[in-house]
Amino acid sequence: MKALRDGPGELALVAPQALQPLTLALLVHTFSSGCAALTGVEAISNAVPAFKEPKSKNASNVLLVMSAILSVLFLASIGLTQYFAVIPRAEETVLSALARHILGDGPLYVLSQFATLLILSVAANTAFIDFPRVVALLANESYVPRQLSNLGDRLVFANGVYLLSAITAALIILFKGNSHALIPLFTVGAFFAFTLSQFGMVVHWRRIRGAGWRLKSFVNGLGGLTTLTALLIIASSKFFDGAWITIIIIPLAVSLFLRVCNYYKGFDAQISSWDIIENLKENRYIERSVVPVSHINQGTIDAVHLAMKASKKAIGVHIIFTENKRDEVVDEWNKRFPRVPLHIIHSPYRSVSKSLVNFLELLDKKSGGEPTTVILPTFVTNRWWQMLLHNQTNWWIRTSIRESNRKNGVDRKIIEVPYMLREIDFKKFQMKTEKA
């Protein structure tokens, strides 16, 4: 209505700039910039599993409607900008200048800017909806860690959201919050995905050879060539603007996916081996177990009882830095477990984990290489902050044993025996202690 009523605008007088010749490089740069504005349609294809049946048809209808809306908005914005002679300025976006020219500076202009903010917020949220879904599909095929396929308590792929949040924060910090510098990264990745999906559909139609497969294959092939052309143009024209990062990251990511997949294949083959299962049936008891002992308490007693029941030979290990309380621990041990030997190890460097690992490696060599099972007493507290007051030595022991396993290629088991700590009324406990 504004255009019909007022007619075209008049060009403002500005300082003339040097004209740029109409070369192929200019056309290529212009085309790549226009293609960047058309990205976002991949959100529909990413969300196909969320549609109702028939999923592909419903997704196609939504994609068609969204393409029509995008075309109208894009062409209308360009046409009105030219019609009203809106000149781009560094201090104001073209859309803002166009809205100000049509609506003035009143409430409608503010409303249009607020609507733009909401649209951008929804656009940013699209990634947090679709990225976790795509990553979950990759996780189901074992190309990324399988934890990314787990649904959270709110029925979203929470781990994917956390991963994307970390990547987003890193990019914002790396590019100092400049969104324009991030556009080439997104555009190259989007058109690379478009190209792969189009040529992938060509392979799909040639395999199934259903009704009209030649036409469908031709359409997807033409689309693939178009997006490939756009990809090459964008990658070349925006290379030094940040597109080089995506060109490097994509092959590295594919290589990482393949390595993760190969690891999971080996992992599945190893843990599902029937030889291991048959070996477990034949050897129902642990050959030898070691219980690290700091003090003789209820947690230690439970761990030693388990070691005596589950293994053919149980051994206690008490690592000391000084001679203080050594005799007290030895006397209490001999009184409670007379048939279980207790080894006393002096640690001059005051390292429990390293001294224990050295003892285990020496014990394995003397026993013909059969790995020793370590049974660790562990305290389970009632409150999360109480965990900070316990089990720190256990963490170092577990870490050192696993490192020794990797270094020596052995399969030394670690069994934790939890002891649940009760909530204590300290006033009553103090009264009982004083009476005693």
Tens-digit pLDDT profile for residues 384-421: 777 777 668 888 899 999 999 888 888 888 999 988 87
Site of tokens 């030693």: 304
Q: What does the alpha-carbon distance between residue 52 and residue 115 come to, in Å, rounded to a whole number?
A: 30
pLDDT at 54: 87
123 within 8 A of 129, measured Cβ to Cβ: no
Record the pTM. 0.59
Question: Residue 293: which of 317, 321, 324 has the closest Cα?
Answer: 317
pLDDT bin (cut points 50, 70, 90) of residue 18 is low
Tell me what the pLDDT averaged over the chain comes to: 81
pLDDT bin (cut points 50, 70, 90) of residue 20 is low
Question: Residue 186: which of 243, 123, 257 has the closest Cα?
Answer: 243
Residue 349: strand, helix, or coil: coil
67 within 8 A of 40, measured Cβ to Cβ: no
Which amino acid is residue 101, in one-letter code? Answer: H
144 within 8 A of 135, measured Cβ to Cβ: yes
pLDDT at 317: 94
Q: What does the alpha-carbon distance between residue 312 and residue 223 come to, in Å, rounded to a whole number?
A: 69
pLDDT at 342 > cutoff 90: yes
Q: Quick one: tokens of 170?
A: 């890193």
Give ∠ CA 316-322-328 in degrees, rounded to 5. 55
148-206 confidence digits (pLDDT tens): 888 776 778 888 899 999 998 998 888 887 777 777 777 788 788 888 888 999 999 99
pLDDT at 374: 93
Decide: residue 252, CB within 10 A, 0-12 exposed, 13-18 middle, 19+ buried: exposed
Residue 181 main-chain phi, psi, to 5 deg? -75, -20
What average pLDDT does the segment 311-335 reach?
87
Q: Quick one: tokens of 148?
A: 């990314």
pLDDT bin (cut points 50, 70, 90) of residue 256 is very high
The residues pairing with 379 across neighbouring beta strands, listed in sequence order, are 419
pLDDT at 223 > cutoff 80: yes
Residue 154 main-chain phi, psi, to 5 deg? -105, 20
pLDDT at 71 > cutoff 50: yes
What average pLDDT does the segment 308-312 reach?
87
pLDDT at 13: 43
141-160: b (≥16 Cβ within 10 Å) or e: ebbbebebbeeeeeeebbbb
The residues pairing with 317 across neighbouring beta strands, listed in sequence order, are 292, 343
**Domain chopping of the chain, boundaries:** 2-189, 285-435
353-377 confidence digits (pLDDT tens): 899 999 998 888 887 767 889 999 9
What average pLDDT does the segment 215-222 reach?
90
Q: What does the alpha-carbon distance between residue 315 and residue 410 come to, in Å, rounded to a whole number?
A: 20
Kind of pairing between the strands at 314-320 and 414-420: unpaired
pLDDT at 388: 73
pLDDT at 252 > cutoff 90: yes
Q: What does the alpha-carbon distance between residue 104 and residue 150 come to, in Å, rounded to a whole number?
A: 50
pLDDT at 11: 45
273-295 confidence digits (pLDDT tens): 555 445 545 555 678 899 999 88
pLDDT at 431 > cutoff 60: no
pLDDT bin (cut points 50, 70, 90) of residue 116 is confident
**Which CATH number does 285-435 carry?**
3.40.50.620
- Chain length of the chain: 436
Q: What is the dihedral of CA 65, 67, 71, 73, to 10 degrees?
A: 60
